[in-house]
Chain A
Amino acid sequence: MRNDRLLEVWNDTVDGHHLIGSLIIGGAVSLGAFQAAEWLLGMFIDDPRMARTYAMLFGIIGCVVGGAICAYLFRPKREVVEDTVDTENLQGVLAALYADYGSRGGVEDLPEAVRSELRELELEEAFLVYERDHAQGDAVALAEHDLGRAGREGVKS
């Protein structure tokens, strides 16, 4: 999807024209609901203050309706890919992880409950392989080597 109107607003991507459309629709529907409710309820409720409060309720419902209309009209600008775990890079991820947090003790020292959790997740082997290959000293060197690539992918936030 190629689009030269894409902008980053409030931590996500939007289409500039769609954003303007959403502002107009969101504003018009919510305000319309609020004003119409205030006018209509004013005829039935004696206390104008309560009428106005209930009108606010309709205004908030209007916000949600406006949002729903925008969601229907404007599709998300997100590429959502179904993740398949890239097990080849698992050792790279582990390198970034160990470099980031450090680890005292290996899988063997874990309580049995945690170890069997790792085993169920089919991760125990990967951790064991990593720990065997990077016993103490060279763990740091390899972590630094891999950190460039895996680290960038590792922490996006």
Chain B
Amino acid sequence: MMDALLAQLPVALGMGIIGAVVFSAIGLISGSDETTTIAPLTLLVVLIGVPPAGVYTFFLAGAVSKHMTHAVPTALLGIPGDTMATPMMREANYLRQLGVPHIALRKMISGGVIAALIAVPVTVVFALLLAPFGGFVQHTAPYLFLIAALAIAYFSPGRWAAVLALGPFVLIIVALQNLTAAHGVKLGVSYFLGIAIGPLISDLFLVLSPAERARRKRDRPARFSLAPDVKRWSGYFPNPLKVLDSRQTSWTIGTAVASSLTFVFSPVAMTVIMGEVVSSRIRHVYHRLTTTLAVRNGVTESTYIAEALIPLMAFGLPLSPVAAGPAAPLFNAPPRFTVDSASGQVNNLHNLLGTWEFLVYGLLAVVLALLIAYPFSMNYARRAASFVSRNISHEAIIGTFVGLILVIGLWEGGLLGLLVVVTVGLVGGFLSRLLGFNIGVQFMGFYIAVLTVPALTALL
């Protein structure tokens, strides 16, 4: 066992460092949603043939780093760093106005550090407890996905509208799949990318329409105030246990454990709920702001780790919103990793890594992320936020993502692939905006189309 671990150690280490560096930088750019960035880069790493341990550390170190540096624009500029950062905007804004945005930043990042370290072992233990049910889960996966999708839809902002909209949405995906199959094209990532980047695609269509464009006219640039940062410790590597007080540390640990166990729910919803649970138990308003921030950012780390790892270790099936979205290439990246919908057979990291490897490389990935993202965001937050907001225009970010749509769409399915990305993005973007049929529900809709629908039609 030790030999196997050591043999893959160099590649695990190297890929973890690459993941941490790349996603520390991406986290600084607001609007860089997790799925649009983590999923395609992880897919690339899988397909160029990086060994399993390297794929795993790349993904995990990347996700953990991104959820640390995303606190920088959130705290200092008042712009959410990504989707997971939105539940922290309210508290972060109040601390900004009190003139102490660096406190918001440090509480968030320190909460993330502690939660990420706790989440890996908790997740591995929980996955081991669930593993005996793996056979049953793989067998009944098509129906479990249906139940999970209905639950996730009901708890989305759209409530019943989202539940009912699942029908037409799944129908569109099934129809698109049959269309592309008729031309010998089988698509996967194109759907994920379309869903994840839908809000941008629908916005680009909207500004092409004259009536809507008139409504979106602005007479002045958006104004951001960049808050000052004050360094209050000596040295390079601040101790997170000194940044948080003892109550904050224990709440962060408690919610990290709790949110690791609720791995089938939406990570944003868990972040909101855990924050509320803790907030209502803190008496003084200032203490409440800082504790809520530490806990919420901790939960962004722990839910991401648990939602990716538990389904991967225990079942090999993407049975959670994170597993179905940003972590999808760990489960399904044909031809290398596959999930067979008919037999429930899986061939992915589930089979390729053992329990000890999940634990040891998982901790390695988290430690690498901590060594890179944590001191970076603690020491250079203000300069990084200032650089990004003054030098990287929104047009450039949009240009980058439109390039990504073109490359991934054409790579996977030629012109047909590109059309599928645009179609899914346009429909999904509007459904999300108008009905609250959000991205997590759309990912589950995709899995109903590829897993549940074939199983049901086979019964007929």
Option from A23, A83, A96 in Cβ contact (under 8 Å) with B402: A23
A111-B247 CB under 8 A given contacts A53-B44, A76-B389, A157-B93: yes
Interface residues of B in 349-400 (CB under 8 A from A): 386, 389-400
Q: A27-B403, A77-B222, A103-B284 are in contact. Are A18 and B393 (CB under 8 A)?
A: yes
Proximity string of chain B (270-306) to chain A, C-beta cutoff 8 Å, 1 when within and 0 when not: 0000000001000111111100000000000000000
Residues in chain B near residue A113, CB distance under 8 A:
245-246
- Give residues 43-95 of A contacting B (CB, 8 Å): 49-50, 52-57, 59-60, 62-64, 66-68, 70-71, 74-85, 87, 89-90, 93-94
B245 touches A114 (CB 8 A): yes
Given A30-B407, A59-B411, A155-B90; A109-B399 close (CB under 8 Å): no
Q: How far is the CA of A43 from the CA of B221 in the complex (A)?
A: 49
| Bound complex: CA A90 to CA B357 (Å) | 52
The answer to whether A67 and B221 touch across the interface, beta carbons within 8 angstroms, is no
- Give the number of residues in A that approach B within 8 Å (Cβ atoms): 89
- The answer, yes or no, to whether B183 is at the interface (CB within 8 Å) is no
Judged by a CB distance under 8 angstroms, whether B231 is at the interface is no
Known: A7-B216, A77-B393, A157-B78. A34 touches B226 (CB 8 A): no
Please measure, in the bound complex, the distance between the C-alpha atom of A25 and the C-alpha atom of B406, giving whole angstroms.
Answer: 12
Q: What's the A-B contact tally at a CB cutoff of 8 Å?
A: 257
Per the bound structure, the CA–CA distance linking A84 and B217 in Å amounts to 30
Closest residue on chain A to residue B40 by CB atoms: A60
- A46: min CB distance to chain B, Å: 14
A140 in the interface (beta carbon within 8 A)? no
Q: Give a binary string over B121-145; 1 marks a CB under 8 Å from any A CB, 0 the rest.
A: 0000000000000000000000000
B41 part of interface (Cβ distance < 8 Å): yes
Cβ of A138 under 8 Å from chain B:
no
- Shortest CB-to-CB span from A102 to chain B, Å, is 7
Asked whether B407 lies within 8 Å of A26 as measured between CB atoms, the reply is no
B403 and A80 contacting across the interface, CB-CB below 8 Å = no
Q: In the assembly, what is the distance between CA of A118 and CA of B98, in Å?
A: 11
Q: How far is the CB of A32 from chain B (nearest CB, A)?
A: 10
Interface residues on B, range: 35 or more
Q: Does B224 contact A (CB under 8 A)?
A: yes
Structural contact, B406 and A30, CB atoms closer than 8 A: yes
B199 within 8 Å of A by Cβ? yes
- Rounded to whole angstroms, the CA-CA distance of A9 and B213 in the bound complex is 10
In the complex, what residues of B have CB within 8 A of residue A25's CB?
399
Q: Is B207's beta carbon under 8 Å from chain A?
A: yes
* Interface contact A79-B398, CB-CB below 8 Å: no
Residues of B contacting A90 with CB < 8 Å? 98-99
CB pair A79–B222 under 8 Å, yes or no, is yes
Once the chains are docked, how many angstroms separate the CA of A113 from the CA of B243?
A: 10
Indicate if the CB atoms of B41 and A114 lie closer than 8 Å: no
Complex: A44 Cα to B286 Cα, angstroms: 62
B413 to chain A, nearest CB (A): 12
Check B48 for interface membership: any CB of A closer than 8 A. Answer: yes
- Cα distance A121–B103 when bound, in Å? 9
In the complex, whether B228 has a CB less than 8 A from a CB of chain A is yes
**Do A83 and B227 have beta carbons less than 8 Å apart?**
yes
Q: Is there an interface contact between A103 and B283, defined as CB atoms closer than 8 Å? A: yes
Of A2, A4, A30, A123, the most chain B CB neighbours within 10 A belong to A30
Task: Please give 7 more A-B residue pairs, beta carbons under 8 A apart, in addition to A78-B221, A154-B97.
Answer: A6-B218, A13-B221, A22-B399, A30-B406, A80-B224, A93-B98, A123-B98
17 contacts between A and B (CB under 8 A): A2-B220, A6-B219, A10-B200, A12-B31, A16-B207, A23-B399, A26-B401, A27-B402, A76-B394, A79-B221, A83-B226, A90-B99, A94-B98, A103-B288, A110-B284, A111-B247, A155-B93
Task: List 8 tightest A-B contacts by C-beta distance, closest first.
Answer: A26-B399, A30-B403, A85-B99, A67-B400, A59-B407, A22-B399, A63-B403, A71-B396
